[in-house]
Structure 1
């Protein structure tokens, strides 16, 4: 029998989706599952985006430019300028989701054997993207005791070698919900300039900042123009996860020229989804104001509820819509599977994402889970009640 590649064998499973077979089996048994494991918002997609699809006049569903519609890139540049970022249409390549933008970034700035420094816990697919690119992740651990704030910059510097090509951050963070301060972003920028590194900043949750906190993009620092690469997406901003539209943004012409070769190799991003995404840019600010208010309420319900459960420690997010909770269990993977296979409360259970998969350091985060507060308030309250009962039964 022909052999599978070592790269394929080393490709990690998604900690978010690997429990799906157990969830499907639970549903077949008649259980209701509150899905706290995946960042799929229940917020309605803007009507402007949906109407653009309903009312299209396309007769031939053709390729777009490999960089995406010119009209979309022009309009997207206007959106960034309105947020204070000096982005031009030529600085943008439209991608098939933020995932493809990350792959283009890694493909364009690293070679097999190179290293990327990432604060952990981090978005689990970074592990997969690194494996696919032959890149080694050098993790630097953030702590739940500081809400997963940026670790001391001196710790980053200790990890820099002649193989280091970039520092990758998610701001606001998935899975932590941490929102980097202006001072933290500046420290990273200074370090990147000192050692001539790229900073790749995954900013797909940029609209989700709470208590009046401000999001600080790496693209806002003019001195970082040649070193900054931003990844963005419509998935969370407009509740359009299924559109699979994102973008890669950089003012570094060589980065964009290289990324364009990857974009040409995959031909073009999807046409209908670009139509919807371009229309979504006309969404009024009132939409986001209502969404932020709703997520703030949901976050408060979740964090306050978790804090009341004996033995649970939780970090308070300032952005995105995730939090990391430390549970009084030894193995969150086992507990998460047990929730689906062997537990229910009046026919109901919850699904969480074990957090070990959001780390690169082995045997780290084994008693932690990521929870996405993307359910309505009543369902979140019920989920906390179920989780408390489940922990009591599991530990007894």
Structure 2
């Protein structure tokens, strides 16, 4: 019988999606499932983006340029300039989602067996992208008790070897919702310059910052021009997850030239989605103001309700739309499956993402879950009620 590759066997399952079969079975049995497991906003996509696709006059749906159309990249560079990121269209490569941007980036800066240091917990697919590239993730642990702040620089120093190629952060963070300060980015600047490393920042949640805090891009820090790489996407900003349009942004010309070769190999990003994404850049600021106000209310509602449950602790997020929650159970993988398979409250249950899948260190996060507050406040309150009942019923 033909043999599956070692790399394929090592590919991790998504902690966000691996429970889908149990959720689908619950639905088939008449149980309504509140999805707290995935960052799929229920916010409406800007109408201007939808209309651009509906009203276009394309007669032949042809390839786009491998790096994305010059019109879109030019318009997108002006968006970044408004956000104090001084780049031009030549510093951008349009990708099929942020996922492809990460794959192209890892492929451009690493060789097999190289290492990337990532503060954990981190977006679970970083493990998958690294495994697909034959690269080793080296975790540096951030602590629930510190609200997942940047670990001490000394902890990074201990992990750097001749194989280390980059430090990767998500800012604001998925799954933690933590927002790195300018001071923390400056600390990372010192260490990547000292060791001649890349600093990759996944900034897809840039717009979603709360409590008067401001996002700091690695590309806005002077002196990081040759080291900084930004990963971005329209998925969350415009509630366009299905468009699958992302981008790589960097002032490092050699890196961009290399990444374009990966873009050429996959031909081009999807044309209709490019049209929608270019139009979405005309979305007025009032759209974001309303969305941020809504997410702040959802965050506050969720955290306040969760903190009423005995034995439950919440790391309060400052950005994105996720939070990590500690539950009074030993194994949230088992609990998350049980609540879909064996439990319902008036034919309703919830789906959460076990947090162990967001850690690289074995055994970490076993009593934690990630909750995405992408539902309306009424549904969030009901979801927490179901969680409380489930914890009171759970046999383990």
TM-score interval (norm. to shorter): over 0.9
Matched, 1:38 2:10: no
Write the deviation string for residues 250-290 of structure 1: whole angstroms up to 9, x where unpaired. Answer: 00001000000000000000000000000000000000000
SS in 2 for 1:222: coil
Q: What does residue 284 of structure 1 align with?
A: 284
Matched position secondary structure for 1:208: coil
Decide whether the 8 Å contact of 1:175 with 1:358 is kept in 2.
yes
Match of 1:205 in 2: 205
Quote how far apart the aligned CAs of 1:212 are.
1.2
| d(CA) in 1 for partners of 2:297, 2:330 | 31
Partner of 1:214: 214
**Residue 164 of structure 2 aligns with which residue?**
164
For residues 28-107 of structure 1, the aligned pairs below 5 Å read 28-107=28-107
* Corresponding residue number in structure 2 for 1:355: 355
Q: What TM-score do the two structures reach when normalised by structure 2?
A: 0.99
C-alpha contact 1:64 1:268 (8 A) present in aligned 2: yes
Query: 1: CA distance between counterparts of 2:287 and 2:120?
Result: 32
Equivalence map 1:132-147=2 (5 Å): 132-147=132-147
Ranges in structure 1 where 5+ consecutive residues have no aligned partner: none
Q: CA deviation at 1:395?
A: 4.4
Cα distance between partner residues in 2 of 1:151 and 1:303: 24
Normalising by structure 1, we get a TM-score of 0.99
Aligned residue for 2:196? 196
Cα contact 1:329–1:395 (8 A) shared by 2: no
Show the counterpart of 2:183: 183
Who is 1:345 aligned against?
345
- Give the SS at the match of 1:299: helix
In structure 2, the partner of 1:4 is: 4
Could you report, residue by residue, the CA deviation over 1:64-83 in whole angstroms, capped at 9, with x for unpaired residues?
Answer: 11000110000000000011
**Counterparts of 1:13 and 1:42, CA distance in 2:** 25
Residue segments in structure 2 that go unaligned for 5+ positions in a row: none
* Alignment root-mean-square deviation, CA: 0.6
Give the SS at the match of 1:87.
coil
Distance in 2, matches of 1:377 and 1:47, equals 24
Where 1:224 maps in the other structure, the secondary structure is coil
Partner of 1:266: 266
| Match of residue 23 from structure 1 | 23
> What is the number of equivalent residue pairs in this alignment?
396
Secondary structure at the aligned position of 2:339 is classed as: helix
Q: Within 5 A, what are the aligned runs for 1:105-124? A: 105-124=105-124
